[in-house]
Amino acid sequence: MTELTIIYGKEPKKMVRTLLELLQPEKALPLDSRIALKPNLVLAKPATSGATTSPEIAAALIEHFQERGYKNLVIMESSWVGDNTKRAFQICGYEELSKRYDIPLIDLKDDRTIKVTYEDMNLLLCKQATEVDYLINLPVLKAHCQTRLTCSLKNLKGCIPDKEKRRYHSLGLHRPIAYLNQVLRTDLIIVDGIMGDLTFEEGGNPVEMGRIIAGFDPVLVDSYVASLIGYEVSDIEYLQISHQLGRGNLYGTETSLVELDQEKKPGRTLRPSYRVAQLAQYIEENQSCSPCYGSLIHALDRLEEKGELDHLDLPLCIGRGYHGQKEKGKAIGIGNCTVQMDQHLPGCPPSARDIVQFLRQLKK
């Protein structure tokens, strides 16, 4: 079996149809299999923002399987903490897809949860995510403000309840992501590399990348994507842990790589933006959830652009690690976790707009 297949171009539906004809993922898959598509709909923004999976990719998969007689397909997702999955289904074009192909949309935020244990860690999963025969993971090629990269391994975080998403940050994020991928197995991965974001997970700085990457091994796919944007495996801890746990192979010289339509390969080199690292100098983070940290980074980005950050002479504290800590007068707290600090902004997570207003009024 070919290990990694990449196709270049700008027409996601046509490109995925070509990939599927070649890979034939349905081989040996019984016709009554329950097949779940798990896009990345982290928040309610269209794929053109660089944040979410193009519905055209899902459409190509649905057509491929339906034409071959598969009737039990579903689309499932749970957007990040603070965002509404149903709104994301609508804004991102999945509601329309659901009607067009008569496919149910499952908002995993409404689902029951089950507990599983991996090594020394208890993990909560959304029940319906565990009840599929074939899980198709559809991540977007994106940077992440805390883990540097988000692709197929991290995309499974959309299959756990919100309270568990928060708890992952208390557990250091990387190990639980790797463990999650041990208990919830992805069967096929199609990476949306048409429009990604090399600055923020939540989009807003879309980058045309002109490619779709397909594979069956999430460690191989993610390590290839990491190398594509200039990261070493050692830069992405959960990827390293997943490899050590035997979840898959790392991309290297022995990887069999098939590239289709190479004449359409974009000339530009993909490199992550170091904007987040630059703004992180103002922050003292301790186990913060991604939406919270992302809001703060966005707020600082806006304020710095307008030259309004000079008055900040105290560190901005954020994260679950500040629960119960006083830090009186010595810091500024962002989010409900910092409620005991003298100066703090409530919200779980607070919006970037609220953070901007809060930090502006500190000047006065």
Kindly list the residues in this chain that would bind ligand SF4 in the complex (CB under 6 A): 81, 166, 288-289, 291-292, 319-320, 335-337, 348-349
**Which tokens is 7 given?**
């196709």
Smallest distance, ligand SF4 to C-beta of residue 40, A: 19
Smallest distance, ligand SF4 to C-beta of residue 170, A: 9
Q: Determine the Cα–Cα distance for residues 95 and 107; give it in Å rounded to an integer.
A: 12
Q: Determine the Cα–Cα distance for residues 94 and 324; give it in Å rounded to an integer.
A: 41
Are 46 and 91 in contact by the 8 Å Cβ rule? The answer is yes
Q: Determine the Cα–Cα distance for residues 135 and 33; give it in Å rounded to an integer.
A: 10
CB nearer ligand SF4, residue 129 or residue 337: 337
Smallest distance, ligand SF4 to C-beta of residue 68, A: 43
CB nearer ligand SF4, residue 151 or residue 289: 289
CB nearer ligand SF4, residue 81 or residue 108: 81
- How does strand 4-8 pair with strand 206-215? antiparallel
Smallest distance, ligand SF4 to C-beta of residue 86, A: 20
Smallest distance, ligand SF4 to C-beta of residue 318, A: 6
Element (H, E) at 142: strand 140-144
CB nearer ligand SF4, residue 55 or residue 335: 335
Are 191 and 12 in contact by the 8 Å Cβ rule? The answer is no
CB nearer ligand SF4, residue 325 or residue 336: 336
**Which tokens is 72 given?**
């039990």
CB nearer ligand SF4, residue 17 or residue 323: 323
DSSP per-residue codes, 194-222:
EEEESS-TT-SSEEEEEEEEEES-HHHHH
Radius of gyration (C-alpha) of the chain in whole angstroms: 20
Smallest distance, ligand SF4 to C-beta of residue 169, A: 7
